[in-house]
Structure formats: structure tokens, C-alpha cells
Amino acid sequence: MLARLLLDANDTGVTLRTAEALIARRDAAGLRVFVRAWDGADFDTGNWLAEGAYSLRASEQDEAELVERLRMLADEDADESVRSGAADLLAWLAHG
């Protein structure tokens, strides 16, 4: 259900609010759902997810903790789309 909300090309407000809510949780479960959607998003939806991802940068400490979680997901998660999305989001954060 959450993945459908994140990837809803017809309601970008829902995409943005869902992305922000999942990231605000600051836990592995929310981050896994977000990065799986990040991996599967088209260009337009990806832009809305990126807008939500800006909240990852709430503070340097928060960003450092989330970067560490993303690294773990990119290296160790059993789901290929989670690993791929986490790696891509790490690259985006490094260049953003």
C-alpha cells in the first residue's frame, strides 16, 4: 500500500507526504519502503521523492545516522530493489 502511495503519478501531494512521513520515522522499515520506491520511480515521481528526501538533511547528525543505515541496506539487504535504491540514494545525497 505504501509503495502505491509513493509511486502515485496522479497525486504527487500524496507521494510527497508519504515520502516525508516514512523518512521522518527514522527507522529501517520506513527507509526500506522509501528506497524500494526510489528504485522503481519514473523521472517525475522520482523528483517528488527527491523533494521528500531533502528531509534526510534535517541535521548533520540525522544525516550521518541515515547514511549509515543506507549503507547497511545497500550492502546487506536481501531485496535487490532495496540495495539498488539505497545505493542510488547514497549517490544522490553525496552529490546533492
Q: Provide the residue ranges of all domains of the chain, joining segments of one domain with +.
A: 2-95
Tell the residue number behind the cell numbers 505504501, with chain if given.
2
Tell me the whole-structure pTM to 2 decimals.
0.89
The radius of gyration of the chain from alpha carbons, rounded to an integer in Å, stands at 12
Decide: 63 and 76 in contact? Cβ < 8 Å: no
Average pLDDT of the residues of the chain: 89
Residue 22, all three cell numbers? 516514512
Q: Higher model confidence: residue 72 or residue 28?
A: 72
* 49-63 pLDDT, tens digit each: 998 888 766 666 677
Residue 9 pLDDT > 90: no
* 82-95 pLDDT, tens digit each: 999 999 999 988 88
Return the ∠ at Cα 26 (arms to 23 and 40), rounded to 5°.
Answer: 40
